[in-house]
Amino acid sequence: MPSRLDTDLRARAAVAQGGGIYRIVPQAVARPTTVTSLREVIEAASVAGLSLTPRAAGSAMGGGNLGRGVVLDLQSFERDALVVDPGSRGAVVSPAVRLAALHAATHPYGLHLPVDPSSARWATIGGLVGTNAAGARTVRDGPMRAWVDGLTLEAGEGPLVLARGVPPDPAHPVVRRFNREALPYLVQHREAILARWPRTRKNTLGYALDTWYQSGDLVDLVIGAEGTLGAVTEVRLRLAPTAPAQATVRVMLTARSALPSTVICLHEADAVRIEFLDASFLKIVHGPDAPSVAAVLLVDLEDEDAERVSARITALVAQLEALGPGVAQVEQALDPAGIHELWSIRHGASSRLAALTDGRRSLQVIEDGCVPVPRLAEYLDAVDAACARQNMDVVLFGHAGDGHVHVNLLPDLTQEGWLDRVRAIFLEVTGALLRLGGTPAGEHGAGRLRAGLIEPFLGPTALEAFRHVKAAFDPLHRWNPGVIIPAGDDPFVDLKVGEAAAPLPDGMAEAWRRVEAEARWGGGMLDVG
């Protein structure tokens, strides 16, 4: 094996899991720190006949950060490359720069990147680009794609510089192949593809053809590509001013049926965040102290002026209280301490779920469904019904303003047939998403878990278009095979739990449990020495 590739078992086990349901031990791991060393690794993998899987902090849910060949751990790749230009409200950064570091660098200028995933403490810019990350603020500010002005991609044929509104180098091999082979198919089948595209507020199920049809910019196909088209080596970002005044409303709902009208009211108020916590979530996090309600909504407003945001929140509270009996209680806060108190009900779920010791394990199998907002309550009921039929506990929460729900199944691994019941829920909820006009991937990508759902949801023409895009960028299919482009694999093999889980060196399975329970994603999360 070439010297650039580390084949030590403990080093490989340290990149064998992510934030989702899978465990795949690669044949090698590499940690390039410069473009030169990255190119050497790409060449070494080619000589060894191994695939390449870019990986950032490791918390992505769909399995797109795991691979059987070489995992490219990019957390130290030009880590200090971060330049902020306050005059243009822009920044040029390495993919290894963490969102927290970017915020620290932009804060003195009153600027920020308005992307707010729950992984914000450890997420890297490369990871955010790879999955077109979203989060709580997406309801107003959009996902990562809205803030990327350009990037540089390395796939082994020289750097490909992509920028909005600027034609890429026509002589680059990727651009030549795209224009010759992919473009004619995409143009010919535009109407058929768009006719099947989800009409949801969020969708990350494969390459963003809908956005590309509007922009014509290849950068829109790379954002959200989950490392299947190459490794991003530089990102050029737009930034937004940070609003100085904030207010929060916490809304208690006695019935899910009140969700659509409440969310519409919040949209009209220009809410920045509209977060949904189901009763199942409240019970897990707060136990007997959980409020006896169907759901809680956490809502943020922002403004340039403190008096104006105060007036806006007063008006919003009056509108919410007038909605009817489904709204049980509305609380508001304008100061930082009060806002923190209202949001405190949100914290602690993921770690508590990961730390369960009663035989149940949190599995993110149907964790990213998104439906049109008016169908949100129907979708929640469908998930509950599917889980009840299989006698399985479930926790629901998410981004109500986008009709987007995260679902954590809690199968009891000590019970016989648990995996069959998980499969049954997966199939039933997938059917519900299709029926409701939704997508199984709101913000976490297709990955390995949902690659096989692309054809049922988007149709065979879109899947063939994806294959044309993939072939233009990666004609040898070396980058992240099995992700986005389905390989026909059973999505429930290579699980991190159960008797068939791949063995790990002594102590490392327990170490992974601690990473999940303590949310210690990112560099140094496992001792591989």
Average pLDDT estimate for 418-429: 98
524 pLDDT more than 80: no
**472-517 residue pLDDT tens:** 999 999 999 999 999 998 999 999 999 999 999 999 999 998 888 8
* CA–CA distances in Å: residue 297 to residues 263, 276, 320, 518: 9, 5, 11, 25
Element (H, E) at 161: strand 160-163
Q: Mind listing the pLDDT tens digit for each residue in 143-172? A: 999 999 999 999 999 999 999 999 999 999
* C-alpha of 396 from chain center: 16
* Per-residue pLDDT tens over the stretch 438-474: 999 999 999 999 999 999 999 999 999 999 999 999 9
Query: For the domain with range 245-345, which CATH number is right: 3.40.50.2020, 1.10.10.10, 3.30.70.2190, 3.20.10.10?
Result: 3.30.70.2190
End-to-end CA distance of the chain: 20
SS3 300: strand
Q: What pTM was computed for the model?
A: 0.96
Let me know if 268 is exposed, middle or buried by CB neighbors in 10 A (0-12, 13-18, 19+).
exposed
CATH 3.30.70.2190 domain range(s) in the chain: 245-345
pLDDT digits (tens, 9 = 90+) for 333-380: 999 999 999 998 887 666 677 777 788 999 999 999 999 999 999 999
Architecture of domain 351-444: 2-Layer Sandwich (3.30)
Of 493, 486, 449, the C-alpha closest to 19 is 449
Residue intervals of the chain classified under CATH 3.30.43.10 are: 9-76+493-518
Tell me, which fold does domain 9-76+493-518 have in CATH? Answer: 3.30.43
Which residues of the chain form CATH 3.30.70.2740?
351-444
Q: Are 367 and 406 in contact (CB under 8 A)?
A: yes
